[in-house]
A and B are shown apart, each in its own frame.
Chain A
Amino acid sequence: MNQEKTETSLLQIRKVVREYILPRQQLFSPAKRFRALDGVSLTVNSGESFGIVGESGCGKSTLARTVMALEAPQSGEICFQGEILHSLKAEDLRRVRRGLQMIFQDPYGSLDPRQSVGKIVAEPLSLLGEMTHEKRSEMVAETLENVGLSPNDAVKFPHEFSGGQRRRIAIARALITRPALIVADEPVSALDVSVQAQVLNLMMDLRDRHGLAYLFISHDLSIVRHMTTKVAVMYAGRIVETGPTQKLFDHAQHPYTRALLAAVPRPDPTRKPQKRAINSLPNMLNYNLETETGRGCAYASRCPLVEDKCRNSSPELQNIQAGALAGFENNPQEIDHKVACYKPYAALVSN
């Protein structure tokens, strides 16, 4: 990590490991551990949208909770605006938190049904210290307008709103402290597509207007493609491929990324006759438990290209060799695109 990069980057995640201890199978057997995050590193610069994709159980939400300092990593560190989150005292953490807000996955579970919208949205203002009542309601009104709701909505309660409007309330609550980074964990799941598009447009407008950075977590590849400039694909607690969104989607290298992209149904009936190759994919959750840490690629058991080497040692994230790849002829400088695989697509093509 060179020095200039540290200065501009807003959030740095360095080799974060988060394990959960599972219930014992038998009284005296050693407890098994589930490694939800296994050495994850990434950097988000200010004003940048960084996407995290992967299937359920790959550690996306654990990553979000760890970034929000709701959970402490077992090892590694998370550095936000130059401060290491889990080493801060509670008081300092509150100060840092105004720059760091979250939009939760479930807009029903995350809004208190007994509080008015005004109260819900004003809650994070306590992080900013003492404030007059007038100032407070002024900020609430302004923020509600910002997300496309009416200031009069502040006296209403969550049950009076539709799913899309609840998302707007959740966004308003995250926005009111004027954070530098918003962690959005599946912000549009369970919304109808027309409403989903409204919420996504709102998030993009807010980003452009306030210079927000997003850590955008989703299992929907087309949304991540639309919303982000950089992306990391996670599998079983590790990042298997990362890079600028368009490059990664157009020239996916890891077999898992390719499988994910191939599985997305597209609204194009002419694509129907092509049989999509889906290999039998065992459950990833079981897999995290079975592998000894540090041995073999987690994707080996599902991978169509697996070799002995993959089962024995796990590949590190590496830059894709510039220039030599299919599709990169025009752009030999490109070095941001990294993949953790012994047999990336480009190597197969060039052979």
Chain B
Amino acid sequence: MNLLTVNNLTVSTEHQSGSINILDNLNFNLERGKSLGVVGESGCGKSMMAFAIMGLLPDNMTASGEVQFGGNLLSLPEKELCQIRGNKISMVFQEPMSALNPVLPIGFQVAESLRLHKNLSLHQAQQQASKVLERVGLPSQQYALSLYPHQLSGGQRQRVVIAIAMACKPELIIADEPTTALDVTIQAQILALIAELVFEENMSLILITHDLGVVAENTDQMLVMYAGRIVERGPTNKVFERLAHPYTRGLFASIPESENPNAEQGLQAEYSLTNRLSTIPGRVPEFWERSKGCSFADRCPRAQANCSLEVPAEIQLGAGHTSACFFPFEQKV
């Protein structure tokens, strides 16, 4: 049973050179209780996708296509959308400091969505809020309710943002880089917390990140995005088994190893020139620089003439695993 179905989602904006698609024909769906990871570098449209689903696009952008969540969210009037946002779908934003209001106590901010969506009085909502805060690991009494964001550490602020997102027990949570600004130990705690809450409440999760490690450890399905398109998708373990698209493979290869597979065999030679990281040449194109064909063509080691002329269609590689590439890799090396 699909909770969310996205069909031909296209987001476009006006630029000097005419109308430009920031997101180009995205199709995917998400089952209830499952988690979907979205990876890609900055500028590839990950966050725009989240904003399009939430109906939070900036004014100069228009979305077309369908976002089925009960009904088509893109065609709902703002008033009805307000009843879904924060209630049925909620979002954990990237920067907890700017997502929280610095002049309101956190208890009030957590209670806000409860008052709005559940018609609770301030008192009831605050009682409920203190339970939610306790649930995310901010043991409360009245004390936590009256704290202000500046009195909290980065990890605690992110917990508050999660508490706000969780307060109404939504069916879908979209977490946009929830741990980018946090230390690894805190990141691990926050991800464990999200996983636990999502599992207990049988919520679905869209986890947007640039960190392949985070996706590998926390999601069932994944999408790899590049320049507004989905270039590879599938069950997370299948995608990592094969790394079919050259971009996915390039991303994977650019990460320095954190674990030495030969640790047991004693010491390796000192680091030297031979120990270079593999890189993807060039950079992510700005959205107005994207080429007509595959946007990865000019950085791709396997590109041939037709790559820059036409957009490759997604081809099936295995159960649910597809790649939008004319020349996908066969085996993981």
Contacts and interface: CB of A to CB of B under 8 A. Distances in A.
Contacts of B250: 194
B217 A278 contact: no
Given A201-B276, A267-B255, A270-B237, A260 B42 contact: no
A225 B252 CA distance: 17
Interface in B219-276: 236-237, 240, 250-252, 254-260, 263-264, 266-268, 270-273, 275-276
B61 interface: no
Interface string A280-314: 11010100000000000000000000000000000
Contacts of A259: 185
Interface in A218-242: 219, 221-223, 225-229
Interface residues of B, number: 56
A208 interface: yes
Contact of B254 (A194, A250, A262, A266): A194
B285 to A, nearest CB: 11
A322 B268 CA distance: 19
A130 interface: no
A297 B263 CA distance: 29
A192 B275 contact: no
Contact of B185 (A246, A260, A268, A327): A260
Contact of B188 (A223, A227, A263): A263
B56 interface: no
Contacts of A331: 266-267
Given A56-B183, A195-B283, A285 B153 contact: yes
Contacts of B237: 269-270
Interface of B: 41-42, 137, 153-156, 183-189, 191-192, 210-218, 236-237, 240, 250-252, 254-260, 263-264, 266-268, 270-273, 275-281, 283-284
25 contacts: A55-B185, A56-B154, A193-B251, A194-B251, A194-B279, A195-B41, A200-B256, A201-B277, A201-B279, A208-B273, A219-B183, A225-B256, A226-B271, A226-B275, A250-B263, A262-B188, A263-B184, A264-B213, A265-B187, A267-B212, A269-B236, A270-B237, A276-B192, A280-B137, A283-B155
The 8 closest A-B pairs by CB, nearest first: A265-B213, A222-B258, A226-B256, A197-B254, A192-B41, A194-B280, A55-B183, A197-B277
